[in-house]
Structure formats: C-alpha cells, structure tokens
Amino acid sequence: MGARSTAALRRVASCLLPLALLGGCSDGEAPQVVRFLVVGDTGTGPDGFQYDVARVMEQVCAQRGCDFALVTGDNIYERGVTSVTDSQFETAFRTPYANLNIPFFVTLGNHDNTGNTAAGDGSNNGRGDFQVDYTYSPGNVGRKWNMPDRYFGFTWPQTATLPMADFVSIDASPITHYVNDTSRQWSGDTVATYIADQQAFIADRFRSSQARWKFAFAHHPYLSNGEHGNAGSFEQGTQPDVCTIPLLVSATCRGAEYKAFVEAAVCNEADVMFSGHDHELYWLQPTGACGKTEFIVSGAGSKTRVIQAPDRNPAYFQVGDIPGFFWVELNGDTFTGAAYTETNGISTRVDTGGRPLPVFERSFRRRE
C-alpha cells in the first residue's frame, strides 16, 4: 500500500490507532496531566548507544510516568529500510524498546530517506514510505510504532473533545535534502506541491485546534547550536561543508525554504518545537522571529557529538558528547521538561536510591 495514496485518511491519527494502546476515544474533557519522552537519532541498534539510552528511559518512565514517546527522526541508520519486513525494525526499534509499553510517534529524518551512501543525503524519499507502511503491517506488534503518514497529527489523550495536547509531525527531509531526489514523485512541481500541502495542513490544524497545548516535532531543527546549525544556514562552518559540494548539492541544503516553512506554519502557534538531527541536547530560548515558540533539540538517542557553537543561540540548557533524552510533563497550564543523560546504561545523576535524576529541569506557564 503506497504511503501517499491514503494520505487524507492517515494524517488524522486521532482515534485511528489501537484503542487498547491509546486509552480509547471517549468524549469529555481530557485529564490534566500528560507525560511523554522525546528522543531522537536513535536508529543504530546495537552499534551505538541506543540500548543503553533505552534502559534509562525505562527507569524514568517507571519513576515519573510516561504516556507515549516522540521520536525525532533518523530512526534507522544509515540508509533507512528497504521493506516493511526489514530486520532493522527489530534491531533498532522492537528490541531496544521492548520493555517500554507505550506508543511511539515517529517522524522521518534524512537518514531514513537517504540514497546509496551513509551520508544522510536525503535523496531517496521512497525509503521513508516503508516506515509509514510498517505502521499498518503485521510486524508492528501492539502497534507500538506510529507513523500514519509522512506528516500527520494526533491529539493526546485520544478524546473526541477538549484534548490536552495537539501534535503535528513534519516531514522535513523533502524540504532540506543535501542531494536532489531523482524520482518523479520527489522532484520538481510534484514535491513543491507536496511541501505546500504539508504547510497548509499544519497551519490549518494549529489554527483549528481546541487543545490546551500545541506542539510540532520534526527531524531538522529551526535553531541549534550543533554542527548542522540553524535553518537557513545549515552546515555553515562544518568541515566539509556538504552544501558546497559541486554537482551533488541540492538548492535546499541550507534550509532557507525550511526556515520559511517553519515560520509560516509553526512559529507562534506551537508552544514548543521538538527536533533532532544534531546529536546533542538543547533547550533554546524563543527568538523574535518565532514568537512564543520554544525549541528543544533531542538528538542524542544513540549517537553523540560535541557542541559546535554554544553561543549561536541563547540556551536555557545545552550538553554535548553524551547520550540522552528529554522527559516532558504537562500539568494543567504548566510545561515541565527534564533532560537525562547516561553512561553505560546508567543515569549520570541518581538519587540515594539509585533512581535517575535529571541533569536539567525547567518549567514554564502556557502563553496565549
């Protein structure tokens, strides 16, 4: 089944996912507390830190509670999958998260859509469709993996009225790829229409949402102090700068179109935008161009990298060169985010009982 052929049905994720897993689709006001994980760049399987990070995720969920997880892309390194039965779904998803009995809402990254190299060039978007189709496949036991389309929305809890939170997943790679996709479906006017449709979907969903909180999650960041940098100036200062490679480079490599896309559809609508791509943990302050929206980058789920430019954007918190993730709680009008890091499957900070402690925690009140 083609991922884009049933787009109108798949993008409305509310009440389409298994009721036993998501708590049903009942009427009425949502509970006042929602808790979830945010982890990204996870898909190394046993070759990176993914399994160790997963163990600390389990401990945090047992201690503080988790309703679901957001995964911010690069779900399968280095070149995505080639079918819905690809063994990497087992090694890079089912096995590491076997003890986390919560749904995972997953967005696509550049490595999930890459071509024949391990560079994450984003030039083979057809591979991302397999990750969509896996949502509906028999191999997705318990429907833990949730990517109902390449971009989609869902509410939490799964109630028909007054949800606590509304989420949109952005398919960023077709807007930011290093190398042009040569397929007809993902080039020229066809991909331009796809991007415009996606932008309209997100903007319309946010404008019509009745949820108390609104969030976007994507692989590529709008702001980052890491190697990839800010949208509009992606890769500047890197060695080598992939956006200057002759013949191969896409015109969208710097992410100027993505910057405009986020500013039009997400900024000052979403309370927080979550992303990955850079393999560090950041909580960056709002910027004037984006109004109230705050930015959390959680890309240390299986790989790490040092912070390249710590002063590029003002940050409430940033840490590099160590694996980790964020835990979030929504309690009425209060958002609390906590960053956890690990070494050899053990939280780098623990209490007297050996339970994980965050390396950073911050709360803020919802802004109109």
CA distance 188 to 168: 25
239 pLDDT band (50/70/90 cuts)? confident
3 pLDDT band (50/70/90 cuts)? very low
Q: What percent of the chain has pLDDT over 90?
A: 83
Helix (H, G, I), strand (E, B) or coil at 123: coil
For residue 312, being part of any structural domain is answered with yes
10 pLDDT band (50/70/90 cuts)? very low
Q: pLDDT per residue over 13-44, tens digit each? A: 444 444 334 444 444 554 589 999 999 999 99
8 pLDDT band (50/70/90 cuts)? very low
117 pLDDT band (50/70/90 cuts)? confident
For residue 63, being part of any structural domain is answered with yes
H, E, C per residue of 353-364: CCCECCCEEEEE
**CATH at residue 348:** 3.60.21.10
For residue 2, being part of any structural domain is answered with no
Q: pLDDT per residue over 158-204, tens digit each? A: 765 789 999 999 999 999 998 999 899 999 999 999 999 999 999 99
**Of 86, 70, 71, which is closest to residue 129 (Cα–Cα)?**
86
The number of folded domains in the chain is 1
Report whether pLDDT(217) > 50. yes
Average of per-residue pLDDT across 135-164? 92
Report whether pLDDT(12) > 70. no
Terminal Cα-to-Cα distance of the chain (whole angstroms): 41
Report whether pLDDT(88) > 60. yes
Tokens describing residue 125: 């978007």
CA distance 336 to 84: 36
Report whether pLDDT(9) > 50. no
DSSP secondary-structure letter at 141?
A: G
Contacts 24+ apart (CB under 8 A), 81-88: 81/112, 81/127, 81/130, 81/131, 81/134, 82/127, 82/130, 83/130, 84/130, 84/133, 84/134, 84/137, 84/139, 85/137, 85/139, 86/130, 88/43, 88/45
Instruction: Give residue 4's pLDDT.
Output: 45
DSSP secondary-structure letter at 121?
A: -
Is residue 96 within 8 Å of residue 342, measured between CB atoms? no
Instruction: Give residue 18's pLDDT.
Output: 42
305 pLDDT band (50/70/90 cuts)? very high
Neighbours of 123 (CB within 10 A): 25
Report whether pLDDT(287) > 80. yes
Distances (CA, A) of 191 to 82, 125, 180, 213, 237: 21, 11, 11, 30, 29
CA distance 241 to 227: 10
* pTM for the predicted model, two decimal places: 0.93
For residue 330, being part of any structural domain is answered with yes
For residue 118, being part of any structural domain is answered with yes
**Of 124, 110, 102, which is closest to residue 76 (Cα–Cα)?**
110
Question: Computed from CA positions of residues 187, 190, 196, 199, in that sequence, does the dihedral angle turn out positive or negative?
Answer: negative
Neighbours of 208 (CB within 10 A): 8
Report whether pLDDT(11) > 80. no
For residue 184, being part of any structural domain is answered with yes
Average of per-residue pLDDT across 50-77? 98
For residue 217, being part of any structural domain is answered with yes
Average of per-residue pLDDT across 130-148? 97
Instruction: Give residue 29's pLDDT.
Output: 53
For residue 1, being part of any structural domain is answered with no
Structural domain containing residue 182: 7-365
